[in-house]
Structure formats: structure tokens, C-alpha cells
Structure 1
Amino acid sequence: MTVVVPARRTLVLPIVLIITGVIGWYASFALTLDKLAVLLNPEADLDCNFSLIVQCGANLQSWQGSLLGFPNPILGLGGFVAPIAVGVGLLAGARFARWFWIAFNVGVAAAFGFCIWLMTQSIFSLGTLCPWCMLVWAVTYIMFWTLTLDNARSGVFGERLERAGSVLFGWTPVIVFACYLIVAIIAQVRLDVLSYLFV
């Protein structure tokens, strides 16, 4: 018999999933178009290239930009559809089994980890900050923490984590902001972004 998680969700989760999913998909689409432009003309002047530091051209042409043998933005085009679908389903009154929430959370956690890896590669190896990439990182951080803490407080990870999830869920904006701040500090220390913002 399939165990269904009790309907204890608020509107916060579906709205966050839909908004971050749409923004992430759009950023992935923009990156895909830029990748096509680079393939057609390696010297193309991309709209996302603002300076030596803030640009996406170097990222798109690196091996890190095609880790699985195809451009990373394609992962976003496919992957960001899932949270949009789940969010719409929740708004329509759908209820999902516990195994679904665990699997979905694992998928989002993998995306979160991948974004952290891409961030470190971008800052420490490529020495650039890709605007569209940063937008993908930003929405993925929001999605991961909102989903994970909502799952915890809803009992998806067991009764022991319900209390912690309930307490921490209200701190989600602070946790996400802390993630942004850490990335900003690392980027500034490593790249001195403010000095080269428009150079």
C-alpha cells in the first residue's frame, strides 16, 4: 500500500517551485541561445558579456560548460520543467507519496550540488561570473532550501526532523541570503569583482 504524505503543505512551496522553475528555465533557454550563437560564430558578441569578469562566453566554451558531453543549459531546459509541474500539481490539489517527495528532493539536491560545483569552477578555474549561470544558481538555492525544509517539517524525512524542519522553515530566506553572501564574498576575494565590474 502506498503511503501518502498528509496534506500539510502551504502555498509557499508550490509558488516557490513554479517561480524558481520558470526563472531557471528561462535562464537555461537564454544560455542555450548564447551557446548556439557561439557555435555559429566563436567571436560572437554575447549580450551576457559585460566585462572581463562578468561574462558567459568563457563558461560556455569551457569543458565545464559541457560536463556530460552536451551543453549544461540543456540539463536546465529539461530539469526546471519538473518543479513547475510539481508546483502546478500542488496548486491543483495533488498529493504525492513519500517516495516521490524523497526522489524529488534527491533530484533537487543533485542540482544544488551541481550548481555549487559550477560556481567553484567558474570562480576558481575560469575566473568569471556568468550572469545567466548566477541566476540559475540563485533560484536553485531557493528551491533546494524551501523544498528540503518543507519536506522535513511535513514528515517526509521522519518524525525526528519534523520539529527542526518547522523551526528552520521560517528561516529559509535567511539561509538563502547566507548562501548568496558566501558566494559574493568568495567571488570578491578571489576575483575582486567590484574593481573589474565594467572593465
Structure 2
Amino acid sequence: MPDTRSARPTVLAVWLVIAGVVGWWAAFSLTMERFHLLADPDAIASCDFSLLVQCTANLQSAQGSVFGFPNPILGLTGWVAPVVVGVAVLAGARFARWFWWCFWAGTAFAFGFVVWLIGQSVFVLATLCPWCMVTWAVTIPTFYAVTVHVLRVSGIRWARRLGPWVPLATFLSYAVVAVIAQLRLDWLSQL
């Protein structure tokens, strides 16, 4: 049986690059929308499709600037890390356990922040922001995949069995968000 702690996590690396690029693009798109709205407060964002599906309410809310600056700036900076880590792993880099734990802490923060933002979006703002949902869609599986990898590199033997469960956990997370949004916002009837 191979030592899973020393095996290069190629699938994880590819996912990190893909998720990082998709997440960065969503953050960039939201940042551009925010600039557009700052230049013209009466403008309508290109991602505003209805009262339910829109970016403007989220971007202009207090929740859209939790740390005193627009949240998409976190994405512009934060999504670079998975791309860099993924490319480095594909290039043959091997990181120490402490590095993976620090990287996991970043993904855990992102996951927690996304869960909070989902709650704010659904229960407080009553909107579904398209670019925000793209961010949610890549943050959730990234957190699960990095968590499994960190458990593996930490020498937890049963952790190698968790990898195949990441897609199911991701799907179930998406389903929970969709059901909560449906029960709260009735988004299916507004499509």
C-alpha cells in the first residue's frame, strides 16, 4: 500500500487550479459590477435578472463590505492561492504538513464566510447573486477536498477513504442550499 502522505495530490492540484480560476473570475466580475455601480449609483448591474436573482442588492448591502471594503476584493486576492498551490503541486512541489494546515485554515475561513453569506443572502437580503453563487459553488468542494487532503497528510489512515465522498458531500451541500432557498424564496417559481 503506497504512503498517501507522500503521493502527489494531482487531482486536488488540478481542482485547485480550476476552482481558483473560476472563483477569481467570479470575484473579478463582481468587482467590475461594483465599480460600475460606484460610477453610476442608478445603474443596473448586468447580473440583475429580477428582484430575486441580482447582484446589486448584495453588492450595495452592509453584508457586501463586511471588512470595510467590497467582499469581491477578498476573492481577487484569495483565489490566487489555490491557483498557485495547484500549479506548484503539478510542477512537483511538496509542501510540509504545517503548510497544508495553514492552507486549510484559509479554505475553512472561506467556507465559513460563504456559509454566512449564503444565510445573509437567503434570509436577510432575499436575493440570489449569480456571481456569488459561482463563488459558493467552487468554495464548498474546495474546502471538502482540502480537508480530506490535510487529514491524509496528517497520517490519518481512514482519510484516504474520504476522497470519493467529496463529490457527494458537495452535491448534498448544494441541495441543502437549494432547498433552503426554495423554502425561503420560492426561487423555482420565479425562473
Q: Is TM > 0.5 for Structure 1 vs Structure 2?
A: yes
Question: 8 Å contact 1:124–1:190 — kept in the other structure?
Answer: yes
Q: In structure 2, how many angstroms separate the alpha carbons of the residues matched to 1:196 and 1:189?
A: 13
Aligned-residue CA RMSD in angstroms? 1.2
Q: In structure 1, how many angstroms separate the alpha carbons of the residues matched to 2:176 and 2:125?
A: 19
Q: For 1:66-100, what per-residue CA distance to the aligned partner results, in whole angstroms no more than 9, with x for missing partners?
A: 00000000000000000100000000000111110
Structure 1 unaligned blocks of 5 or more = none
Q: In structure 2, how many angstroms separate the alpha carbons of the residues matched to 1:128 and 1:74?
A: 21
Q: Does residue 1:167 correspond to 2:167, yes or no? A: no
Q: For 1:91-135, what per-residue CA distance to the aligned partner results, in whole angstroms no more than 9, with x for missing partners?
A: 000011111000000111000000000000000000000000000
Q: Does residue 1:191 correspond to 2:185, yes or no? A: yes
Q: In structure 2, how many angstroms separate the alpha carbons of the residues matched to 1:84 and 1:143?
A: 12
Question: 8 Å contact 1:52–1:196 — kept in the other structure?
Answer: no
Matches within 5 A, 1:91-106: 91-106=90-105
1:136 is paired with a residue whose SS is helix
Q: How far is the alpha carbon of 1:6 from its aligned partner? A: 4.2
Match in the other structure for 2:77: 78
Q: In structure 1, how many angstroms separate the alpha carbons of the residues matched to 2:60 and 2:44?
A: 13
Matches within 5 A, 1:39-118: 39-118=38-117
Question: 8 Å contact 2:28–2:72 — kept in the other structure?
Answer: yes
Moved over 3 A (4+): none
Question: 8 Å contact 1:32–1:73 — kept in the other structure?
Answer: yes
**Identical-pair percentage:** 54
TM-score, reference length from structure 2: 0.95
Structure 2 unaligned blocks of 5 or more = none
Aligned AA (2:34): K
